[in-house]
Structure 1
Amino acid sequence: MELRQLHHFVAAARMEHFTRAARKLNVAQSALSASIRALEDELSAQLFVRTTRKVRLTASGQAFLSKAEKVLFSVEEARDAVRAVEQGQAGRLTIGSVQSLPAFLQLPTVLAKFHGLYSQVEISLVQASALNLLDKLERGELDLAFLPAFDARRGIETRLVACEELVLVCSRQANFFSGDAVDLQQLTAVPFVDFENDLGTRTLIDRAFADALVDRRVIFEVSDLGTLLNLVEQKLGVALVPQSVARSRQDTLKSYVVSDVDLCWEIVVASRGQMSRTASIAQFLDLLPMDGLG
């Protein structure tokens, strides 16, 4: 049984005339008649009573008509659903993000804007470490992921969305340093507050100290930015944070430029290759400015 046969049958049933039905469907009457005969043979039932002037449904035809129309309606619904997804008007978009994104990256603002434009697209957001996000992205569990820049992975594309210099902060009541700049060697003797491994800026900072062959002492490891800043404000250690974060706490924290190393926290949005890119993914990416969010 083919959809073409159902279309032929419904048209003939509603118009009660094979010739007019064929004309409406733009097919030859002989083709329509043959299609309906094949349908009757498959069902082992006569669907029409045929006369020279018109046709009318048999009892079996009446029963089959309602089912055939439901099938055609469901098929059209399915086509509409696929069309909406292909055009980015419906579907699902799953986004991942590292925890404790800094203030300069306003992801919720972009999510709200996207929802306002494409309200029928279901958006979900998950937070995890950068490594977990990449694994989920590769397995197809995420469409997009916001995370610090990373070494290239096959099949994963990235786009820079934000970059900000890291500065050292400490409590205004602390007396760790003088002046307004420090170098990495000065930081070997001070206690650090930092994120847990693979969270936030931890990997970037660890790599900078390792490349400079300088040791540091991390005494507090946390999973969120608020706790990190609160510990620093209590004079329990120093931390390296984006400039915008330091500015947001300038009443309680002093900041210092790190003079001997370029510490820029680059945030990228990662996605699988073009073959996996849906219209919704493309539309979301179009909302992102090239140099940051907000």
Structure 2
Amino acid sequence: MDLRQLEHFVTVAEEQHFTRAARRLNIVQSGLSTSIRTLEEELGADLFLRSTRRVDLTAAGRVLFLEAQRVLSAARKAKEAVFAIQGLQRGRLTIGMAQTLSPFVDLPALLSRFHADYPGVEIRLCQGASPALCTKVRDGRLDVAFVPMFGGSLDGVSSELYVCEALVVACAPAHPLAGKDDLTLASLAESTFVDFQPEWGTRPLVDHAFAEAKVERHVAFEVNDMRSLLDLVSFGLGIALLPERMVSAQESLSNAPGGLALARLAPPEICWEMAVIYAGRNEPVSAAASAFLALLPPAQE
């Protein structure tokens, strides 16, 4: 058993499909199948239940999956420690990001600067929801991630608050709420809302705020991306509660000729927070992640 076999095994387990796993690993499928079969023969146990559509882990496979993740994470950390001594001439930086990051952090520009400073470090980036990103950081599959904060600290990872911004009401310029101040959530109860899918983006924060206020709201449109959300708002089909910079950053991309207007809530504000998370107790365990975070501008409040 070697690290490459374990990497092959973990990738197949994550993809639940040999073809997708082979594509991700950039190897031929026959080579991947041989690697898994050799590992099963060495261990004397079937690791996967195979079907024509997908593969699932056996009981033995589930046990190996947890241990293999730990071994691969430890091996990667050992490599990173050596690469750190070599001045980050080699290595890998893996970053996770939520969909709502762009108005607050110019990640492409930061990654470009990092690549210019450390051209030998491979950069990998993935986008996802906060719980999935947190799990990947905790398991060592991501060095650092930018995630929305809601409901307290994230278990098993260290976090640093990076953005705190009050929510505002986004609406069409002709909407009766446009330009108003000191709105209560109760005053929005009769409005039609456009929002993200449940558990996505700012949706959990807004749902919680209305539940705490004991106010029911009507969400007629549920989408997965900011541009669609604000297009619907700008055409007057509903209103949305969002951080102001999210609205400003996307307004120029709207397809509606009228643009967008804002209204503001009465205190206390509903604050949307974003944090940087990593696995180390006081700092990221990856030297590459520490170098990347050093490029970040100061936290925004």
Same fold (TM over 0.5): yes
Matches of 1:284 and 1:148, distance apart in 2: 19
Structure of larger gyration radius: 1
SS at the partner of 2:147? strand
Give the TM-score normalised by the residue count of structure 1. 0.66
Matches of 1:80 and 1:146, distance apart in 2: 24
Alignment identity in percent?
38
Going from structure 1 to structure 2, the CA distance change for 1:284 and 1:214 (only over 3 Å counts) comes to same
Contact 1:94 1:123 in 2 (8 A): yes
Matches of 2:299 and 2:79, distance apart in 1: 37
Contact 1:169 1:240 in 2 (8 A): yes
Contact 1:99 1:223 in 2 (8 A): no
Q: Does 1:227 align with 2:223?
A: no
2:103 aligns to what?
Answer: 103
Contact 2:171 2:239 in 1 (8 A): yes
Cα displacement (A) at 1:195: 1.0
1:158-214 superposed Cα distances (whole Å, 9 cap, x missing partner): 112222221101111223467334110011111111111222111111111111111
2:270 aligns to what?
Answer: 263
Q: Which amino acid aligns with 2:297?
A: P
1:17 aligns to what?
Answer: none
Going from structure 1 to structure 2, the CA distance change for 1:82 and 1:97 (only over 3 Å counts) comes to closer
SS at the partner of 1:232? helix
Going from structure 1 to structure 2, the CA distance change for 1:177 and 1:204 (only over 3 Å counts) comes to same
Going from structure 1 to structure 2, the CA distance change for 1:253 and 1:96 (only over 3 Å counts) comes to same
1:236 aligns to what?
Answer: 237
Matches of 1:247 and 1:285, distance apart in 2: 26
Cα displacement (A) at 1:234: 1.1
Matches of 1:129 and 1:80, distance apart in 2: 29
1:160 aligns to what?
Answer: 161
1:84 aligns to what?
Answer: 83
Going from structure 1 to structure 2, the CA distance change for 1:90 and 1:167 (only over 3 Å counts) comes to same
Gaps of at least 5 residues in structure 1 are: 1-78
Aligned positions of 1:1-294 closer than 5 A: 83-86=82-85, 87-150=87-150, 151-176=152-177, 179-248=180-249, 249=251, 252-274=259-281, 277-292=285-300
Q: Which amino acid aligns with 2:129?
A: S
Matches of 2:284 and 2:144, distance apart in 1: 11
1:238-277 superposed Cα distances (whole Å, 9 cap, x missing partner): 0012112333539611101111431221111100024861
Matches of 2:264 and 2:166, distance apart in 1: 9
SS at the partner of 1:152? coil
Matches of 2:208 and 2:99, distance apart in 1: 19
Cα displacement (A) at 1:152: 2.0
Contact 1:168 1:238 in 2 (8 A): yes
Going from structure 1 to structure 2, the CA distance change for 1:81 and 1:143 (only over 3 Å counts) comes to closer
Gaps of at least 5 residues in structure 2 are: 1-77, 253-257
Contact 1:208 1:261 in 2 (8 A): no
Going from structure 1 to structure 2, the CA distance change for 1:90 and 1:108 (only over 3 Å counts) comes to same
Q: Which amino acid aligns with 2:238?
A: G
Matches of 2:135 and 2:81, distance apart in 1: 28
SS at the partner of 1:136? helix
Matches of 1:98 and 1:280, distance apart in 2: 20
Question: How many residues get paired?
Answer: 215
Matches of 1:240 and 1:154, distance apart in 2: 27
Q: Which amino acid aligns with 1:214?
A: V
Contact 2:179 2:261 in 1 (8 A): no
